[in-house]
Amino acid sequence: MIMGPEVSSGNIEIDPSLCRRVEMHVDFNQIGWGSWIVFPKKYNAYRCEGICPSPLGEDLNPTNHAYMQSLLKHYHPERVPSACCAPTKMSPLSMLYYENGEMLLRHHEDMVVDECGCL
């Protein structure tokens, strides 16, 4: 896997320390799966990284639980941990591969991170 630079949205500057989606390239040859994966040989799975500040703003797609946790963290920083940056929306990846000598086309759920937020 190869980590890439942050993904920006248009001309809007994103604070690089805040929760966001970044590139994560998966090369099936590098992880030893190249002999049975026919297509794709590589893909961008993306990943989430960054902090979830207290209190959270709506721009970080927080769950209600994360929002409450961030408020408690704000008032009791020594007792409550920060919310975690994690995928909030994912999409499938279609893959062509060999299984038991047969070539199959399958759609595998949750293989690509589309959006990140604070959970």
Read off the pLDDT of residues 10-51 as tens digits, 9 standing for 90 and up: 555 567 788 999 999 999 999 999 999 999 999 999 999 999
CATH superfamily of 17-118: Cystine-knot cytokines (2.10.90.10)
How large a percentage of the chain has pLDDT more than 70? 88
Helices (H), 1-119: 64-75
pLDDT at residue 105 in the model: 97
Read off the pLDDT of residues 59-72 as tens digits, 9 standing for 90 and up: 888 888 988 898 89
Backbone angles phi, psi at 46, to 5 degrees: 60, 165
Domain spans, the chain: 17-118
Asked whether the whole model's pTM tops 0.85, one would answer no
113: burial class by Cβ within 10 Å (0-12, 13-18, 19+)?
buried
